[in-house]
Amino acid sequence: MYCVREIAENLYWVGGNDHRLALFENIHPIPRGVSYNSYLLLDEKTVLFDTVDWSICRQFLENIKGVLGDRPLDYMVINHMEPDHAACIEEIVLRYPNVNIICTPKALLFMQQFGFHIDGKVIEVKEGDTMSFGKHEVVFVEAPMVHWPEAMVTYDTTNGVLFSADAFGSFGALDGKMFNDEMNFDRDWIDDARRYYTNIVGKYGPHVQSLLKKAGGLDIKMICPLHGPVWRSDLGYFIDKYDKWSRYEPEEKGVMIVYGTMYGNTEAAASDLATRLVKKGMTNVVMYDVSKTHVSYLISETFKYSHVILACVTYNLNIYPPMLGYIMDMKALNLQKRTVALIENGSWAPQSGKLMRELLEDMKDMTILENEITLTSSMKENDEDSMEDLADSIIESMK
Ligand code: FEO
């Protein structure tokens, strides 16, 4: 049984959803599932835009058959070669042997690396090349490192549809909904969209900026990403989020406190600081236990807030391992432009603060507040003045 949506005249969503997968890329939890989007255009020629993950291939093939009927498949545009979209390329070639594949030269190289047998059916395209399928003419726009080097996006000049590859995607299965205006995106989806962007594409902010500049020259009416809803209204809302995230600008003035605690003493100090901040009027405060929160959520929240406080126990004379993992992920994803404060704890040789500072100083445009707190085993009355001073410094740095 096929299950598709017509999303514009003669353009169909033929993708599917996966609720079973626990970890996207075998790293990131996706409790709300994920969609793999693929689109099929029926013009004088028939054109498939990207394929899907192997896990939903059967549904995908039924969808294509249901929309094509007796027509042949003439073209397959491959915007992105990551296997969550490219896994079914060979299967399509086997079932539609006359299909021509349109992709960048690097995508062709990746097809060979992944071992696809595609028998010379490839039309290589580069930036600015165009192709007509009948009524619809498309232009190909290179989008290297959004999110892999071979990536491109395809713009349909006839109806203003942008096939945006990984850009403007989101975690979350669609569950019958298709368009951004069929859901309360800002309430129910933005956290997953941010977590998707920051963890998957976050490292490549400058490349996303360059794609946004190119996209600014197009009259885009609809954005068709490879994951998550299709955008047909309020495009500016999501483009603005992408602009902020890719410039590493925080979305909100607020304080994210991440603590690494073994027996609750460092957590108690983190709570003390949170309470002081709220009493001073900064109510936009969130706290996360670094051991209990998957790092993909921590990264997403770190992109959201202007201030990050790291409170960390010393472990084997080093940074507590889950905190070290989080900081290394921040570095890997190129996070920058945050104000950071540090609280270290240790029973005989506290030094997590010094070590965290060294790592943070390596990152771009980070402001690390001078008054760092050192606790020995637990926070006591004689630590209160320095905690109050730290709260004051954080508030002051927000002005
Ligand atoms: Fe959803 Fe980079 O692939």
Q: Shortest CA distance to 375 belongs to which of 273, 241, 289, 245? A: 273
- 255 CA distance to ligand 1 middle (Å): 31
- 226 CA distance to ligand 1 middle (Å): 7
CA angle in degrees (0–180, nearest 5) for 25-329-321: 105
List CB contacts of 330: < 8 A, sequence separation 6 or more. Answer: 299, 302, 363
Whether the CB of 194 sits within 6 Å of ligand 1: no
Matching residue, tokens 């899907």: 52
- 85 CA distance to ligand 1 middle (Å): 7
Whether the CB of 239 sits within 6 Å of ligand 1: no
Q: What is the pLDDT of residue 245?
A: 98
Domain 5-246: assigned CATH number: 3.60.15.10
Q: What is the pLDDT of residue 391?
A: 98
Whether the CB of 30 sits within 6 Å of ligand 1: no
Element (H, E) at 131: strand 130-132
Q: Domain extents for the chain? A: 5-246, 252-394
Whether the CB of 307 sits within 6 Å of ligand 1: no
Atom of ligand 1 nearest to the CA of 200: 2
Atom of ligand 1 nearest to the CA of 169: 1
Atom of ligand 1 nearest to the CA of 36: 1
Return per-residue pLDDT of the chain as tens, 399 residues: 999 999 999 999 999 999 999 999 999 999 999 999 999 999 999 999 999 999 999 999 999 999 999 999 999 999 999 999 999 999 999 999 999 999 999 999 999 999 999 887 899 999 999 999 999 999 999 999 999 999 999 999 999 999 999 999 999 999 999 999 999 999 999 999 999 999 999 999 999 999 999 999 999 999 999 999 999 999 999 999 999 999 999 999 999 999 999 999 999 999 999 999 999 999 999 999 999 999 999 999 999 999 999 999 999 999 999 999 999 999 999 999 999 999 999 999 999 999 999 999 999 999 999 999 999 999 999 999 999 999 999 999 999
Atom of ligand 1 nearest to the CA of 227: 1
CB 163 within 8 A of CB 79: yes
At residue 198, the 3 state secondary structure works out as helix
Whether the CB of 156 sits within 6 Å of ligand 1: no
Whether the CB of 28 sits within 6 Å of ligand 1: no
CA atoms within 13 A on the CB side of 211: 30
**Tokens encoding 65:** 């058959």
CB 50 within 8 A of CB 85: yes
Alpha carbon distance 297, 308 (integer Å): 14
Q: What is the pLDDT of residue 119?
A: 80
Q: What is the pLDDT of residue 121?
A: 84
Whether the CB of 80 sits within 6 Å of ligand 1: yes
At residue 350, the 3 state secondary structure works out as coil
Whether the CB of 232 sits within 6 Å of ligand 1: no
Q: Does domain 252-394 have CATH number 3.40.50.10190?
A: no
- Supply the residue whose CA is at minimum distance from atom 3 of ligand 1: 82
Same fold, 5-246 and 252-394: no
